[in-house]
C-alpha cells in the first residue's frame, strides 16, 4: 500500500456506513394490478382535492361537463405494481359529490372503502368483457365500462341527477357514485363506481338476473358450476320461484319499478335487468350451527368439552369492514339466527339475546323483508346516511310516489321502535331485527341500464324477430320492454 493509506491506484478507501431507515412519507397504494393501484391513488387524490374546493349549493350546467385530470411521471414507490407514468381523470367531480351526498355516502368513507385495501375481483358476468371488483368492505362495486358507455352517461347525467333529486333518492336504479379514466402504458380503462345492491354483512344464498324475456335466458352449465351462480328468467320460472315480500312491499316495489322504467323509457334505454339476491336465514342458521360444532370439536380435540369458550367476552371482536363488527359466541350463547351490529358496545348488549337476522339500516339500501321494507331501504319511510351524514333528500318518502310505503313510515317511527325493543324480536341499535316468520331477506336493484335503443339495437331486433317472437327476445323498443318487464314482476312478486 502506498504511503498515506492510499492504495496502489492512488484512491482512498472508505468504510461504508450502515444507512439509517427512512420512514415512508407518502402513502403507497398496493394492488395486484397496476390499473387498480392507480385507481386507488386517483380516488385518494380526487376526493382529497374536493376538501379544498368551495362546494356550490346549486349545481350549474358546466358542473355536469367538468372534469379534473392529472399526469404523473417517475413515481418512485412500489414499482412492481405501481407504474412510473400514468394519468388519472375524474369526470364531473362536483356532480358525483352531490349524488353521493344525496345517496347518504360520505366522501371520507367512500375514499376509505376504495383505498384502504385493494378491491377484490368478482366472478360476476359482464357485458363486452367488463370486469367487476368489490371494495374490501363490500359496500361498493367497481365496474370497467366502454368509452361508448361513458359518452352515453354524459348525455343522461343531468336527467339522472334531476330524477334522483325529484324522487328523493327513492329508486331501484343503480346508485352511480363516481366515474373515472385510468391510463397506464397508453391503455385507457374507464371505471364506474356504484353502491353494492347486496348486503355487506349478510351472505346471499341465491341470485337471479331477470329481464322478463325467455330467449337465451338460462344460466349456462359453466355458470351453474360456480359457488354462487347467477340464474336467469328460465331458471327462475323453472324453479317455481316467487318473490315473497308481502302485499305492502309488492305495491312499493312495483311503484318504484314503474317510476324507474318510465324514466328509462324517456331516455330510450332498455335491456336492463333486476338483480335479485336472497338471504335465507334458516339456511344460514343451519350453516352457522354446523360451523360452530366443527369449531368446538377442533378446539377441544373432539371431546365435546365447551370450557374453551369460558373466557369469551363481547370485546373479542373481528372487524368485518364497513363499520360492521362480527364476533363469535360460545355455542350455548349463539343466537338462533345471524346478527350483525355496528360497535363493540352493541355487541356486549347483544350477547345472550334471542336475535333474528339483523340488517344494518344504514348500509343495506336495497333490502326488503317478507313483512315490511327495512328502515333505510327505498320502500321504507325514511333513509339514513351511510356514515351519519345528513342527506336531506332521502329523509322521507313521497306519498304520491310510494303510497304503499306511507304505512311503513308509521311502523318505523322512533316511538314504535322504542316499544318494540322489549319484544321477542329484539332490535339492535343500528339494525332492524326481523319477525320470526320472515326467514328471507330480498335484495332488489336494477342493473345494466346504459343500453341505448339506437340503430344497432334496432337492427338486432329485426334480425332476431325473423326466428323468434318479440315477446321472447330482449331487444325490443324501450316502451314495450318496460311494459313486459313490469308485467313479469307483477306476476312473480307476491
Q: Could you write out the DSSP letters of every residue in 186-229?
A: TEEEEEEEEE-SS-SSSPPSEEEEE-S--TT-S--HHHHTSSS-
β-bridge pairing 176-184 and 187-195:
antiparallel
pLDDT value at 198 more than 70:
yes
Which active-site residues does the annotation give? 143, 271
Range among 100-104, 215-219, 286-290, 300-304 rated most confident: 100-104
* pLDDT category of residue 346 using cuts at 50, 70 and 90: low
pLDDT value at 68 more than 80:
yes
Residue 98 has what pLDDT? Answer: 96
Q: DSSP strand E in 58-105: where?
A: 67-73, 85-91
Q: Which three cell numbers stand for residue 276?
A: 335479485
Range among 279-288, 408-417, 479-488 rated most confident: 479-488
* pLDDT category of residue 459 using cuts at 50, 70 and 90: confident
Range among 13-22, 237-246, 370-379 rated most confident: 237-246
**Who has greater pLDDT, 120 or 353?**
120
* pLDDT category of residue 274 using cuts at 50, 70 and 90: very high
Alpha-carbon span 211 to 209, nearest angstrom: 7
Residue 213 has what pLDDT? Answer: 84
Alpha-carbon span 464 to 474, nearest angstrom: 10
- The chain-wide mean pLDDT, for the chain, equals 74
Residue 296 has what pLDDT? Answer: 57
pLDDT value at 222 more than 60:
yes
Residue 252 has what pLDDT? Answer: 92
User: What CA–CA distances, in Å, run from 19 to 16, 78, 440?
Assistant: 9, 20, 61
* pLDDT category of residue 201 using cuts at 50, 70 and 90: confident
Q: What residues pair up with 441 in beta bridges, in sequence order?
A: 279, 369
pTM score of the predicted model: 0.73
**Who has greater pLDDT, 320 or 135?**
135
Residues 6 or more apart whose CB falls under 8 angstroms from that of 385 comprise 104, 105, 106, 362, 391, 394
Residue 75 has what pLDDT? Answer: 66
Region 137-147 average pLDDT = 95
pLDDT value at 394 more than 60:
no
Region 113-141 average pLDDT = 87
Region 167-194 average pLDDT = 95
Residue 299 has what pLDDT? Answer: 56
pLDDT value at 371 more than 90:
no
**Who has greater pLDDT, 319 or 467?**
467
pLDDT value at 302 more than 70:
no
Amino acid at each position: 500500500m502506498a504511503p498515506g493509506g492510499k492504495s496502489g491506484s492512488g484512491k482512498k478507501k472508505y468504510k461504508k456506513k450502515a444507512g439509517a431507515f427512512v420512514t415512508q412519507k407518502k402513502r403507497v397504494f398496493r394492488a395486484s394490478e397496476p390499473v387498480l393501484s392507480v385507481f386507488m391513488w386517483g380516488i385518494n387524490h380526487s376526493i382529497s382535492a374536493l376538501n379544498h374546493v368551495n362546494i356550490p349549493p346549486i349545481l350549474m350546467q358546466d358542473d355536469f361537463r367538468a372534469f379534473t385530470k392529472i399526469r404523473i411521471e417517475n413515481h418512485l414507490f412500489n414499482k412492481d405494481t405501481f407504474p412510473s407514468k400514468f394519468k388519472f381523470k375524474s369526470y364531473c367531480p362536483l356532480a358525483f359529490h352531490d349524488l353521493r351526498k344525496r345517496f347518504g355516502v360520505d366522501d371520507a368513507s367512500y375514499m376509505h372503502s376504495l383505498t384502504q385495501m385493494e378491491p377484490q375481483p368478482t366472478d360476476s358476468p359482464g357485458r363486452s368483457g367488463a370486469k367487476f371488483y368489490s371494495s374490501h368492505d363490500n359496500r361498493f362495486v367497481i365496474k370497467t365500462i366502454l368509452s361508448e358507455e361513458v359518452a352515453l352517461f354524459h348525455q343522461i347525467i343531468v336527467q339522472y341527477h334531476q330524477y334522483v333529486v325529484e324522487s328523493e333518492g327513492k329508486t331501484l336504479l343503480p346508485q352511480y357514485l363516481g366515474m373515472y379514466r385510468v391510463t397506464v402504458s397508453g391503455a385507457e380503462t374507464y371505471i364506474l363506481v356504484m353502491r353494492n345492491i347486496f348486503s355487506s354483512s349478510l351472505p346471499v344464498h341465491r341470485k337471479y338476473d331477470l329481464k322478463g324475456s325467455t330467449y337465451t335466458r338460462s344460466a349456462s352449465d359453466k355458470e351453474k358450476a360456480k359457488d354462487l351462480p347467477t340464474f336467469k328468467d328460465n331458471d327462475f320460472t323453472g324453479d317455481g320461484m316467487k318473490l315473497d315480500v308481502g302485499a305492502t312491499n309488492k305495491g312499493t316495489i312495483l311503484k318504484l319499478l314503474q317510476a324507474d322504467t318510465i324514466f328509462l323509457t324517456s331516455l330510450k334505454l332498455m335491456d336492463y335487468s333486476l338483480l335479485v339476491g336472497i338471504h335465507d336465514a334458516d339456511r344460514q342458521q343451519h350453516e352457522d350451527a354446523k360451523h360452530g360444532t366443527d369449531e368446538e370439536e377442533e378446539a377441544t380435540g373432539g371431546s365435546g368439552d365447551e370450557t374453551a369458550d369460558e373466557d369469551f367476552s363481547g370485546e373479542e371482536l373481528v372487524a368485518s369492514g364497513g363499520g360492521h363488527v362480527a364476533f363469535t359466541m360460545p355455542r350455548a350463547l349463539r343466537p338462533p339466527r345471524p346478527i350483525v351490529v355496528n360497535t363493540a358496545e352493541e355487541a356486549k348488549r347483544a350477547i345472550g339475546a334471542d336475535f333474528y337476522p339483523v340488517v344494518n339500516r344504514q348500509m343495506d339500501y336495497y333490502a326488503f323483508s317478507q313483512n315490511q321494507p327495512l328502515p333505510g331501504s327505498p320502500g321504507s319511510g325514511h333513509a339514513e346516511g351511510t356514515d351519519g351524514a345528513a342527506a336531506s333528500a332521502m329523509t322521507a318518502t313521497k306519498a304520491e310516489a310510494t303510497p304503499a310505503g306511507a304505512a311503513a313510515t308509521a311502523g318505523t317511527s322512533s316511538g314504535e321502535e322504542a316499544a318494540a325493543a322489549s319484544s321477542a324480536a329484539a332490535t339492535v341499535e343500528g339494525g332492524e331485527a326481523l319477525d320470526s316468520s320472515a326467514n328471507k331477506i330480498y335484495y332488489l336493484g336494477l342493473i345494466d341500464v346504459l343500453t341505448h335503443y339506437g340503430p344497432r339495437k334496432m337492427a338486432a331486433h329485426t334480425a332476431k324477430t325473423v326466428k323468434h317472437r318479440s315477446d321472447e327476445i330482449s331487444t325490443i323498443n324501450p316502451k314495450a320492454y318496460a311494459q313486459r318487464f313490469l308485467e313479469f314482476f307483477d306476476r312473480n312478486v307476491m
